[in-house]
Amino acid sequence: MIKDYDIIRRPLNTEKTTLQKELFNQVSFEVDRQANRMEIKDAVERIFNTKVQTVRTIQMKGKVKRRGKVLGKRRDWKKAIVRLMPGQRIDFFEGV
Amino acid sequence: MQVSIEDKSTVKKVIHIEISEKQVSKELNDAYKELKKTVDIKGFRKGKAPRKVLEARFSKDVHADITPRLIQNAFVDVVEEHKLDLAGAPRIEPPELVPGQAYAFDAEVEVRPEIEDVDFKGLDLKKTMYEVSEDEIDSQIQMVRKSLATKETVTEERPVAKDDFVLIDYQGFVDGQPFDKTPLVENYVMAIGGTVMHEEFSAKLTGALPGQKLEIEIAYGEDATDKELAGHTITYKVELKEIQEEVLPPEDDTLAEKLGEFENLEAVKAVIRDNLEQGYAQRIKHELSEQVFSALLEKNEFEVPDVLVDAELEGIVKEAKDAYTQNNVNLEDVGLGEDFLRTQYRHVAEKQAKRHLLLAKIIEQESLELTEEELEKGFEEMAVGMKATADAVKNFFNMQKDQLQYFKHNLLEKKAADIIIESGNITEITPEEAQAAQDAEAAKAVEAAAAAQEAVGEDAAGEDTEAVTETPADDTTA
């Protein structure tokens, strides 16, 4: 199980994800950068005890932040948009 | 909203209130709407956070915010609707608010008792006619003289007598060696028969002649008040240097002069007489009102809400505390803990509460009102008491309206008390008769106490009958 939580870093809860949830029954997570779609699917199914239809992933580029002259960059990360089987749902507000 | 009122006693009631689910959700909706506008949540722009997110994060705050409001509104409505005359604040233990359900709670309240019309006319009252006697004035004059007494050296050769003062040097020795706790004291003026020095001093010095040297041996016990001397046997070497006599100023116009601002002795006496007369006038009034209330309370029985008694009790305890702190004494140190006072004075507080309720009833019954002049007079009296100008007092009350309300009520109570006394059946009696009646009563009380003690007797050993007999300074209505 420890591996599952290593893959799924945290749920994302924003205006956009709220919309996706309402319209397409999709939930989003920040996930490990090395994880592939299959691993993510298995992890989500096990952790939340649900059925997953599809998983789409995006490599997110960290924002470039500047402080005076110094340029800095936030870390890159991977986002997974998980589409649940119809009728399935996840409530994960408590972990936010 | 559903309401049912349950009577626990004439003054205690429990109100069951149920606020409908509809009203609860309306309040909740309003609260969340308001919250949504202001709250900043990561991932959402201001005002865009969905209700669910808010609920997950803020439900506790929102509920804590709404519950008192719901209770307050509902409670105020109930009180108005059922015309409850509340005494003190209600006791409410609010349960958790559950969204989507009606909200029910109980409020425990105390109401002022309904007092039936008080028939206060024609009460049999005994008015003790105290009179200022010449003796009393004289003893006051003697006290004044004493306070102005001067000490003069006695020139004739005579031994020390009682009530003399002596000028002495003294030093204490232990086993013939100077003792560092009792160093040489020079030119000390000591009163023979006084309590400052050890009584042995007075005894030995009486009869001594000026210039005489004495040795006074005192063995201090282990329990001596001065811890540093306890357990020592100290030999004091005393030299009597002078005998002094207290000389009282003569009782004539010069005495008046010494007091300042008086023209002659007659003027001083007049002031003393005035003071005494005022004191007696107050005492007469106080006694009358005491009689009035014990009579009225006997005639009109009703329950008193605990909150009112507690409030009175609070006042009594505070007064006692203030009185003691003024003398730098801690209440606990003299064995008068707050709890102790509370139990001791509970019946007094109850009586006072009853008295206030009765007076309020009478004020209402007779629809008494204060005239401008009476208010004005009240201000002036207060000003005299506080050593301020009437205007200052007036200003104070103008700033603090609720205090003014209280003050007015106080004056009204006084007025009511006066009216009762006036309409009473007053018999005038002499102080001697009053004393006799009082003695008879006291004897009765003692008998009753003895009987009570016997009744408690074996098991409780009568510990509680040792009641504190003094009453605290009475409140303003007296």
Which residue type, as a one-letter code, is found at position B184?
L
Q: Which residue has the higher pLDDT, B22 or B445?
A: B22
Q: What is the gyration radius of the CA atoms in chain A, in angstroms?
A: 15
What sections of A1-96 are H helices per DSSP? 2-7, 15-24, 37-48
In chain B, what residues touch A96 (CB-CB under 8 Å)?
56-57
Is pLDDT at B335 greater than 70 in this prediction?
no
Candidate from B43, B56, B57 with C-beta closest to A14: B43
User: In which residue are the tokens 């074996």 written?
Assistant: B458
Segment B139-155 shows an average pLDDT of: 77
In chain B, what residues touch A18 (CB-CB under 8 Å)?
50, 53
What confidence score (pLDDT) does residue B455 get? 61
Q: What are the pLDDT digits (tens) for B407-428?
A: 777 777 777 777 777 777 777 7
**What's the mean per-residue pLDDT of chain B?**
76
B425-429 and B124-128 strand pairing: parallel
**Cβ–Cβ contact B43 with A under 8 A:** yes
HEC states along B388-404? CCHHHHHHHHHHCHHHH
* Confidence band for B381, pLDDT divided at 50, 70 and 90: confident
Q: Which of B41, B46, B54, B60 to mutate to test the interface with A (most CBs of A within 10 A)?
A: B41
In chain A, what residues touch B59 (CB-CB under 8 Å)?
none
Residue in B35, B19, B110 with CA at minimum distance from that of residue B68: B19
ipTM score assigned to the predicted complex: 0.79
Please tell me which residue of chain B has the smallest CA distance to A94.
B56
What sections of B131-259 are H helices per DSSP? 134-147, 199-205, 253-259
What confidence score (pLDDT) does residue B467 get? 41
Domains and CATH numbers, chain A: 4-84 (3.30.70.330)
In chain A, what residues touch B56 (CB-CB under 8 Å)?
93-94, 96
What confidence score (pLDDT) does residue B359 get? 76
Give the C-alpha separation, B197 to B236, whole Å. 12
What sections of B82-198 are H helices per DSSP? 134-147
What confidence score (pLDDT) does residue B469 get? 42
Using DSSP, how many helices (H) and how many strands (E) does chain B show?
13, 12
User: In which residue are the tokens 């986002």 written?
Assistant: A79
CB atoms within 10 A of CB B79: 17
What confidence score (pLDDT) does residue B454 get? 65
Q: Chain A: nearest CA to B45, how far in angstroms? A: 8
Candidate from A18, A94, A96 with C-beta closest to B50: A18
Strand, coil or helix: A10: strand
Residue in A10, A8, A1 with CA at minimum distance from that of residue A95: A10
**Cβ–Cβ contact B130 with A under 8 A:** no
Is pLDDT at B58 greater than 80 in this prediction?
yes
Lowest-pLDDT choice from B111-125, B186-200, B338-352: B111-125
CB-based contact A15 B44, cutoff 8 Å:
yes
CB-based contact B56 A14, cutoff 8 Å:
no
Q: Could you tell me how many CB contacts below 8 A there are between chain A and chain B?
A: 20
Q: Which of B217-226, B274-283, B332-341, B346-355 has the highest mean pLDDT?
A: B274-283
- Within its chain, how far is the Cα of B293 from the centroid? 19
- Within its chain, how far is the Cα of A32 from the centroid? 9
Segment A47-74 shows an average pLDDT of: 91
**Cβ–Cβ contact B60 with A under 8 A:** no
Is pLDDT at B478 greater than 50 in this prediction?
no
Q: What is the reported pTM?
A: 0.51
**Cβ–Cβ contact B258 with A under 8 A:** no
* Confidence band for A29, pLDDT divided at 50, 70 and 90: very high
**Cβ–Cβ contact B56 with A under 8 A:** yes
**Cβ–Cβ contact B280 with A under 8 A:** no
Segment B115-139 shows an average pLDDT of: 74
Q: Which residue has the higher pLDDT, B453 or A84?
A: A84
User: From residue B3, how far is each of B70, B71, B92, B453 by CA, in Å?
Assistant: 14, 12, 15, 49
Is pLDDT at B131 greater than 90 in this prediction?
no
What confidence score (pLDDT) does residue B456 get? 56
**Cβ–Cβ contact B57 with A under 8 A:** yes
Q: To the nearest 5 percent, what fractions of chain B are helix, strand and coil?
A: 50, 15, 30
Q: Which of A12, A13, A16, A17 to mutate to test the interface with B (most CBs of B within 10 A)?
A: A13
